[in-house]
Amino acid sequence: MNTVKHQCLEIFQQETKMPNPLYHQNWSQSLIRQFYCLLNSDIHPQEKIAQILAMMGEAYNLDNIVLLRIESSVCQIYNSWGVRDQKWLENFVYQQCFPLINCIKQHQVYQFCQGDAILTNSREIIPAQKVKPKGQFNCCILSLPLYLNQQFFGYLILETEQAERVFNQEEIDGLEIVNYQITIAIQQIQWIEKIKLIELENKKLQSSSDHKSDYLSHVSHELRTPLSGILGFSKMLKQEIYGTLNEKQKEYVNGIRVSGEHLLALVNDFLDLSKIEANKEELFLETVAVEDICLAAISIVQPKANEQKLDLILNLSDQVDFCTVDQRKIKQILINLLSNAIKFTEKGSVTLQVEKVDNLLTFSVIDTGIGIKEEDQKKLFQPFQQIHSNLSRKHKGTGLGLALSRKLAQLHQGNLTLRSEYGQGSCFTLALPLQK
């Protein structure tokens, strides 16, 4: 580090014997280029600042450099170079033995030489009033303000024991450029600190989310066992294995069964959703015939469609043959979409249309039902959101089906979208990328 200035001097002296002003200009530009390369290196910003201060100290024959952070009129030493006497530094900074804070024109570049304050304004050195410091310093001090995002940060203070030394305008111009480069390094430090804080908060949130998901998963598992027992007992009562029931008892038993099945469906959906959010849901991919998946899903919902006298149609494109998916999860999505379509369609038809579109395999469930209002479409894929209508009150749902279906689609690197017009029906489209 001690050879920085000498290296620069040797290079330019070897190239040409320049007039002094031109020589100084090229020497200063070379130093600034070194600072620029340093800023773009992989070194930690704190180390960059330390190296810049060291290079400045050697290049300009300084004794001490202090980088001050001033906030609410409180001085803090942000970084320093060359300071060997801590007592001197404390006297220099904390007792304000130089006219830094009390300077007539604060936040300006100024020099202090044996009590004479020289301020620079608009890159022009102008004399100011005589300032008498509290302590006598037989030295020359140059103070440069630092700004971050147009906000005052503090001062870069250069000190040399050569009391007769005066920084000329060319030197001050070069130092102001270096000063700006220091602010870039300080900004880098602040960005790193912000990123670390964000990462820490993300870890905390992720940990909290994982604990929540684990808790909900545990609760869901615990609920399944008694629910299965309730459904089993209600089935035995309905079949009158242990004696006949009167009509009122049959009605209550059927109510227990229906409510138990609804609650079990809610628990199952909630458990699946918790697994996905906790990144614990796994895909078991296999190559299967698309037609088999569609027919299996249709067979599950066919009785309900027949009960409502709806036409349930499968429209399979000739281009569609096989796909590589988690068969159970895709079937789960299709059953949910078909069930919803049947639930909200009083007359007409429900169509499952499958085709290839570009590099996607699309499953579209199209109904002639009530349609969905635009304001309801925005919240439909959120958990526990249901549209309000006579049909939704008639057919109770878990409120998790569409949210879970979209999550399962995204787990396949696909998506689930909706196109609907109120009173004209709806079309839910499951789009999956074709496996090459």
What interhelical angle do 247-277 and 169-238 show, nearest 10? 160
205 belongs to a structural domain: no
Same domain? For 225 and 325 the reply is no
- Per the listing, tokens 């590099």 go with 359
Query: Is 201 a domain residue?
Result: no
* Residue 209, domain member (yes or no): no
Count up the domains in the chain and report the number: 3
Q: Which of 227, 253, 277 is the last residue of a domain?
A: 277
- Output phi, psi for 250, to 5 deg: -60, -40
Structural domain contains residue 34: yes
Q: Is 369 exposed, middle or buried (0-12, 13-18, 19+ CB in 10 A)?
A: buried
- Which pair of tokens denotes residue 303? 């009785």
Mean residue pLDDT across the chain? 76
Q: What is the pTM of this model?
A: 0.49
**What's the pLDDT at 18?**
35
Same domain for 259 and 149, yes or no, is: no
Among 299, 282, 303, 283, residue whose Cα is nearest residue 291: 299
**CATH number of the domain to which 313 belongs:** 3.30.565.10
Q: What's the distance, CA 338 to chain centroid?
A: 36
Examine residue 206 and state whether it is found in any structural domain, yes or no: no
| Final residue in a domain of this structure, among 229, 258, 277 | 277
In the DSSP assignment, the letter for residue 346 is: S
- β-pair partners for 353: 315, 364
What pLDDT score was predicted for residue 362? 95
Same domain for 220 and 103, yes or no, is no
Regarding whether 249 and 230 lie in a shared domain, the answer is yes
pLDDT at 128: 36
* Residue numbers in the chain where pLDDT is lower than 70: 1-28, 73, 88, 90-108, 112-138, 163, 209-217, 220-221, 277-280, 383-399, 436
Same domain for 188 and 62, yes or no, is yes
The long-range contacts involving 191-195, CB below 8 angstroms and separated by at least 24 positions, are 192/45
User: Which pLDDT does position 370 carry in this prediction?
Assistant: 86
Mark which of 146, 166, 196 sits at the end of a domain.
Answer: 196
- Residue 258 is predicted with a pLDDT of 78
What digits encode the pLDDT tens for the residues 280-301?
677 889 999 999 999 989 998 9
Are residues 257 and 310 both part of a single domain?
Answer: no
- Determine the structural domain holding residue 102 and report its residue range: 4-196
Question: Looking at residue 16, what is its pLDDT?
Answer: 33
One domain, residues 86 and 168: yes
**Together in a domain, 297 and 429:** yes
